[in-house]
Structure 1
């Protein structure tokens, strides 16, 4: 069994389970898939990658709340746009810190918060559990592939 097939299989199975879990717990299934996607897209994998993707998602939630509440407090659309520009700068510059080094994860967390109208109480557990599901999808797929007895080495096609 190829690595791709094994990860695809476990991802499909766990995606269905996530759909059921999210509805059962009253979470945002789409936000959980964003947390899962954040883990898969992270250039760092394993537990460290999970940590980086989760922390960047959470920082994005915080940045979005700063924009939402700051814009409301300032009361001006134009000043709100300036605040958005400044916060977006900080969302990118935080990459200097290893645990906040995945810029797309930060924007994923912020976008989820905007899409949920600032309901961080629902976004945060959805992103967190989704990230754990993403980690589990990949880890279980690699475990399954290893148990299948097929080498992880890619096939080399020789030209004639």
Structure 2
């Protein structure tokens, strides 16, 4: 066991272990939020990925994900089912959208066309949605669920910033 730890530590020191991690986990960006004109709260000073935002910690990445899902997708665009959200999040010209919808529905137990609920009244359903989307985005269920909870809490704070 100690030899495995040394092996992983030496690989990490040279950056090889990071390359093996899924991009969203490496960037502390579990839903692979693309770079845009917005400066996210919790965004890392050093942006090492040319396409996706890099966050300081996984909690900040989850916060951004929840801000997008609840404030932008739910409140602004009025998207309130798994199908509606994922059709915008992962459009067919970039993804196998139907497979994405099917996997997220299966993982959450929420039918694709059933309303998820109002975020403040159904936080568990929104957290399940985000976790299932992260599993789909990163190809692993080995997520930091404590950071997910921290991200939800951070996203609910009224700070007036992204």
Structure 2 length-normalised TM: 0.33
Whose helix proportion is higher, 1 or 2?
1
Structure 1 length-normalised TM: 0.33
The higher-RCO structure (CA 8 Å, 6+ apart) is 1
